[in-house]
Chains A and B, each alone.
Chain A
């Protein structure tokens, strides 16, 4: 237990450093863009403009703004949004986060379930027609960008067959299409990883022993082989989660979901500094958190892995 605690502390240190780097880089990049958030409102009298800018501390020199915002951000307060009046950044993220998170969760569950099943089946039926078609489908899933998939899916399932709603948020029916489009490339990749891992494991001695004991194929595969075969899949989950979250920028845009991603792009373009920064920090924290969880599950699956060495 002491080992994992030590691991957690060291990880936390690295992650704080990473988040600080991301925060700082984003902050200065954002302020390096010429022009301010109120450029679009042309006829603001200079006094009014000054007042409005003072409200968001935009008149201070940049380092002062930076430290000001950083100390508040450390306390978990990202300030008020500039472009969405009467909302704080925390409120906006609080509304968008559950949507993005549940979309991502559904997509990941879909990707893992479909990917491992397809991978196991094609490894067992190796070099059969099923295997070949699964692997072509997997490569197709990896190759087709999710926004192409999403738009084709909308045409097919929303307008032609009229099975599912095109946009909106709230019911289970509305989450199916975006989650599948978001998860498809990862399902493809996971199925290929599972297949490779499975083929390697199935050749091992302990599998032969298990068969020799007279166990059924299902029992050997599920109980003995799968655990070893899933190690590469688990180590891929970290990057996959990161990918699903950035991919949700696009999917949210296509399906008009009010998640965090759609806020981010608008905020970046309209110079809504506090909102954009808040979203970046939350996303980075999520990715880092997921990576840690992946490392933990790695150690659970493979007893040879020592957390201290990671």
Chain B
């Protein structure tokens, strides 16, 4: 009785003590798994250097159209074949569209582009003024003009709408000026520096998209298999075992020969599918096996936890439990595995491109560039810059991804906590 009265009317000092306690409790912030991991990752110097390198590579690749680079495609067989890297023997000022064979107005891209824009605008006003069959004809002419004589199409292969905007912005910023061939030129007189940058885009996109595809398949497959258990699990894992022992490279080469046949190409164009897209999906569809195994193992150990029982009790459906409760909890493992899958996928892309069954010219990727470089190695003259820069960029990216993956694995490992 006495005690409860005390509790009801605590004196001032007691109140102060509670307030201080409450205040202290508020000030203590729990560290989530991610904060903790980030703190540990920051202490790993190699992993952080890799992380910043990757961010830099990704940004440079993403904004490659904005940089003052030469055209990655424009060939110059006359006097720019196999130039050695560096400034020696090169002009400091290279202008876009200066090659006379391009027949650009006053040999400059800006002039040609201005001319093209004027012509398109003129045609458009004509279209607006005209009517009936005249209008039809003019519309056709306008269409042809946009498709056939856009100067951007001549210097860059099939730029999408975003790339087009970026290129226009670049032309506004830098005009015709672009960097000299610091990395040299290849045997068709193309600038290696800009090819390495544009190749980065394809290589990175293949790596990221294919990994996401593999993530989607692998996580779903593994989570479902692990959660359902029983005979379904054993059948699903048997299938994975079988797929593991198939040398996929052969199957991929067969599929790619199908894809690169003219008739299939025409069919795919009709459906609006790019060969490169099929390529991403194909690679992603191969690399999900390990992901599925890893996720399954995690899910099996998680599914007996109390929070899953609680979800059952409140009546959550199986699909909800798998996708809302189990999968978020395996994310740390998945992310670690992700940083190790991206380099594997990129290496596979490079491997295929090197064999001549991957990315097809005029698209460029690092694997393709290395292939061109290897072909140019002859006993008579070694054009080392054709391999060194593209191979170096590829190796450095893969190296950073591997180190980041190792760092993340250590950082997210709960056994390493508070170390």
Contact = CB atoms under 8 A, between A and B. Distances in A.
Contacts of B262: 34
A245 B246 CA distance: 12
Contacts of A139: 399, 402-403, 406
Nearest to B371: A147
Interface stretch (B78-86, B174-182, B376-384): B376-384
A175 B379 CA distance: 19
Given A143-B398, A284-B246, 8 more contacts: A139-B402, A147-B374, A151-B391, A245-B247, A250-B355, A268-B254, A280-B250, A284-B245
B379 A166 contact: yes
Interface stretch (B65-73, B100-108, B207-215, B346-354): B346-354
A29 B394 contact: no
Contact of B254 (A26, A166, A242, A291): A26
A15 B258 CA distance: 27
Contact of A249 (B249, B371, B391, B402): B249
A249 B263 CA distance: 28
B370 interface: yes
Given A18-B246, A143-B402, A145-B394, A155 B377 contact: yes
Nearest to B354: A147
Contacts of A90: none
7 contacts: A30-B257, A32-B258, A33-B254, A34-B263, A145-B395, A151-B370, A284-B246
A144 interface: yes
Nearest to B346: A145
Given A155-B382, A155-B387, A287 B247 contact: yes
A109 interface: no
Interface of B: 241-242, 245-247, 249-251, 253-255, 257-258, 261-264, 343, 347, 350-351, 354-357, 367, 370-371, 373-374, 377, 379, 382, 384, 387-388, 391, 394-395, 398-399, 401-403, 406
B218 to A, nearest CB: 17
Contacts of A142: 402
Contact of B379 (A14, A33, A159, A288): A159
A248 B261 CA distance: 26
B370 A26 contact: no
Q: Indicate the member of A34, A151, A246, A283 with the most B CB atoms within 10 Å.
A: A151
B351 A145 contact: yes
A254 B264 CA distance: 30
Contacts of B371: 147
A253 interface: yes
Given A142-B402, A147-B351, A280-B247, A269 B257 contact: yes
B391 A26 contact: no
B54 to A, nearest CB: 13
A18 B254 contact: no
Given A33-B261, A143-B395, A148-B394, A287 B245 contact: yes
B253 A143 contact: no
A143 B242 contact: no
Given A18-B242, A29-B258, A268 B398 contact: no
A35 interface: yes
A253 B387 contact: no
A143 B254 contact: no
B398 A284 contact: no
A22 interface: yes
A287 B379 CA distance: 37
Contacts of A291: 245
A305 interface: no
Contacts, number: 128
B69 to A, nearest CB: 23
Nearest to B264: A34
A139 to B, nearest CB: 5
A280 B406 CA distance: 35
Size category of the A interface is 35 or more
Nearest to B379: A159
A291 B242 CA distance: 12
Interface string A254-275: 1000000000110011000000
B397 to A, nearest CB: 8
A152 interface: yes
B398 A144 contact: yes
A4 B403 CA distance: 41
A26 B247 contact: no
A148 B391 contact: yes
Contacts of A155: 377, 382, 384, 387
A247 to B, nearest CB: 8
B365 to A, nearest CB: 12
A62 to B, nearest CB: 15
Given A242-B247, A246-B247, A288-B245, A151 B373 contact: yes
Nearest to A246: B249
B400 to A, nearest CB: 8
Nearest 8 A/B pairs, CB to CB: A143-B398, A148-B391, A143-B399, A29-B254, A34-B263, A144-B395, A151-B374, A246-B249
A29 B254 CA distance: 6
A57 B255 CA distance: 23
A17 interface: yes
Given A145-B394, A147-B351, A25 B379 contact: no
A265 B355 contact: yes
A145 B254 contact: no
Contacts of A25: 251
A151 B354 CA distance: 12
Interface in A1-51: 14-15, 17-18, 21-22, 25-26, 29-30, 32-35
Nearest to A192: B406
Nearest to A154: B377
A249 B358 CA distance: 14
A160 B52 CA distance: 35
B377 A26 contact: no
A33 B254 CA distance: 8
